[in-house]
Amino acid sequence: MPSPQAHGLPEPTTRAGRAALEALLTDPAKALTAFDFDGTLAPIVADPLTSAPHPGIVAALAELSTLVGTVSVITGRAAATAVRLGGLDRVPGIIVLGHYGAERWAEGRVIAADPPPGVALVRAELPALVDASGAPEGTWIEDKGRSLAVHTRRADDPDRALELLAAPLAELAQRADLQLEPGRMVIELRPQGVDKGAALTSLVEERAAQRVLYAGDDLGDLPAFAAVAALRGRGVPGLTVCSSSDEVTEVADAADLVVPGPAGLAELIGRLTERIRVRGPGA
């Protein structure tokens, strides 16, 4: 039997990753494939409201969706925002879990519970806090509805801005009973009890998936990587993929397979789809 690499697929660096890729190729109809949005499907940009997927990657997901059991996106964004910015409604049957799993978009409908009261507290106090922190000009607040994020990428000294904000944001998060989520030039305050790992595990169980692939790029994706490891312990083969960057090396260190950013992920999805088609179901 030809190896996946014989057909252009990169080889995972771990034994568990190689076994998971083989399992996915052997029976793709039982697979769940899940992807982060920003930094994974879409390049990171200075203004997240202008984010867009890497060219061709949504079309590649649409093709993949005809061959695997489930295609999903798990993002810190609002589910409807990810769908709108990404044109994800072009992917047949896709499930988009927004706000780390607190929202669900499927077949044109969003299902979500009300946000906790701490979000309103943060919304009221955050502008004054950022001003008082001394963070440099260019630091700005994104209101995601169920969470709020402070971005420093546009600031003259993004790292210094993060340093100045870390302690006051931690104190505000504690008072609001929210969780602090660091990321790539951003700190987010979001509800407790939700993360991408719990969202991924729940979706795998719901879909009765028997193999799983998760791709991400940032610290918020590490709980999903941990969930994949836990699923392996329950007999579900799992492959973790890092859409790499120079900003967050921890994710690459934790992944079974590293690809060069969204462009590399688009190529991986295309080659995976091609390999499944060549191999045929159950081959």
Q: Is 218 a catalytic residue?
A: no
Quickly list DSSP for 11-48: PPSSHHHHHHHHHHHH-GGGEEEEE-SBTTTB---SSG
Answer yes or no: are the C-beta atoms of 26 and 282 closer than 8 Å.
yes
Rounded Cα distance, 112 and 2, in Å: 45
Burial 85-113 (b: 16+ CB within 10 A, else e): bbebeebeebbbbbbbbbbbbeeeeeebe
Which residues, at least 6 apart from 65, have a Cβ–Cβ distance to it below 8 Å? Answer: 71, 91, 92, 93, 94
Which phi and psi angles does 14 have, rounded to 5°?
A: -110, 155
Answer yes or no: are the C-beta atoms of 45 and 51 closer than 8 Å.
yes
State the alpha helices, DSSP H only, in 40-109: 57-65, 79-86
Residue type, 125: E
Q: Which of 36, 195, 218, 256 is catalytic?
A: 36
Q: Which residues are catalytic?
A: 36
